[in-house]
Amino acid sequence: MKIKKLLTVSVLFMLIISGCVSIDPLLNKFESKETKLVRQYIAEGEALEKEDLFSNALEQYKLALTVDPESEEAVQHKKNVLSKLWQRAQLHYKKGIKLDEQGKYEAARKEYLSALQNWPDHKGAKDKLTPGEVEEEKKDYIIHTLKYGESVSQLAMIYYGDFKKHTIIGKFNVLKDVTKVRVGEKIKIPVIENIPLQKLKQRQKNYFDSQKTVSPVAVPEKPEKKIEPIVEEVKVEVETIQPPVVEETEPKQELIEENMQKEAVQMPEPSFEENKKEISENYEQGIDLFNKKKYPEAITSFMAAAELDPKNESLLDYLFNSHFQQGLALFNSKEYLSAKDHFESALKYDENCEKCPDYIEKCEETYKEKHYNLGIHYFGKEQLSKAIEEWNLVKEIDPDYKEVTPNLKKAEMLYKRLESIKQGKSE
């Protein structure tokens, strides 16, 4: 019996050496359950890493280490994944900081949350998600109703003496983006450290008093007063020349016009302050029309204001939205080319508009498809003039669209033949 066992082992050993039998299955038989489990966890972790699911992969490596804390492979995998998670967390955190500085708090908040998803103990992200400098116990505040030309940064300067503190106001009011505030919006100005409620109220009073002292904008009357002495000087000149009575009016009128032109050149251009009343009127009228969904009229009012204040972000934002909404309305009314024009205008006011290029393309494609199919419909009914008209509309925009060019040639040729036959019969 012993001899048989020895022979079996010897044969098996020879087979392994010759490569006829793999050693792995044999070793696996002798592996412990713990070792197999560790291998399984590591394999699952590696698969999750390939799918960029690092947090889930980390859990697998932790499970492997609970089974075998000494597993060098699991330890190394854990270190690599932690490094990647930290890098990702930092990337999201830095993006959040930039968005915070721009006053885009909702977008910044998402980045901070993403940072915490990758690294739950990220102190910077945690701090950014908690309101800073506002006294939690009191939460006292005053209300400031926004007027034309005011911004959240300006309010931070008025009440805190530092425009960078716009983040405090923005977060306290749960604003998604401080650049998207509107005239008439009520903004809460919270009490912060070293600036109590009474000081806020005093600063508000001082600000409003300073606004009252600014006189209403009016066109200066000086140019009108200067015209009178010009006329008197002309009269003196005319009397000394003593021309015939009939010709007196001509040199007099010429001199008046010449002097008025000189005077007009000397008149200063109206300043922004002088235009402020007109800008405000057009702006408020535009908002009213926009809210009533009268977008073309709103665009006219906003454009009038933008000509005098071309860098006003709120105006540009309203112009974008007015064009975009009018584009949607026209698209739904099947006025595709007009809709396309408005989407293109909207894109000029906001180059980051993601939907605009899609709508522009959709407008053109829908327009071409509509008129191409109508051409086929009319051609089938032998209404050649209408078919030609429809296909010409398509060809003007895209001569290579489907079979529009050969179809058009065929329709025109048939139409000419029919017309020549009709003329022959009439003769």
- My answer on whether 28 and 145 are in the same domain is no
Task: Identify whether the C-beta of residue 187 lies closer than 8 Å to the C-beta of residue 152.
Answer: yes
Q: Is residue 339 part of a domain?
A: yes
SS3 (DSSP) at 15 = helix
Q: How far apart are CA 155 and CA 149, in angstroms?
A: 11
Q: Which domain holds residue 154?
A: 141-212
Q: Are residues 207 and 231 in the same domain?
A: no
User: Residue 104: exposed, middle, or buried by beta-carbon count in 10 A (0-12, 13-18, 19+)?
Assistant: buried
Q: Which residue has the tokens 């829908």?
A: 366
Asked which of 168, 190, 212 is the last residue of a domain, the reply is 212
In a domain, 135, yes or no: no
**What is the model's pLDDT at position 133?**
47
159, part of any domain: yes
- 154 with 97, same domain? no
Q: Is residue 136 part of a domain?
A: no
Interval 266-286: pLDDT, tens: 445 555 556 777 888 888 888
76 and 42 belong to one structural domain: yes
The structural domain count of the chain equals: 4
Which of residues 187, 212, 237 is at a domain's end? 212
Residues 391 and 350 in one domain: yes
What pLDDT, on the 0 to 100 scale, is given for residue 136? 43
Task: Check whether residue 286 and residue 414 sit in a common domain.
Answer: yes
Residues 40 and 101 in one domain: yes
Q: Are residue 238 and residue 170 in the same domain, yes or no?
A: no
Q: Is residue 390 part of a domain?
A: yes
CA gap 355, 363 in Å, rounded: 12
Q: Do 43 and 159 fall into the same domain?
A: no
Residue ranges of E strands in 206-326:
none
Let me know whether 43 and 110 are in one domain.
Answer: yes
What CATH number should be reported for the domain holding residue 120? 1.25.40
Final residue of a structural domain among 189, 212, 235: 212
Long-range contacts of 357-366 (CB under 8 A, 24+ apart): 359/327, 359/328, 359/331, 362/331, 363/327, 363/331, 363/336, 363/337, 363/339, 364/336, 364/340, 364/397, 364/398, 366/336
Q: Quick check: is 217 in a domain? A: no
Q: Indicate whether 316 belongs to any domain.
A: yes
CATH code where residue 177 lies:
3.10.350
Residues 124 and 148 in one domain: no
Residue 10 lies in a domain: no
Residues of the chain with pLDDT under 50: 21-24, 26-27, 133-138, 214-251, 256, 262-267
* 249 and 299, same domain (yes or no): no
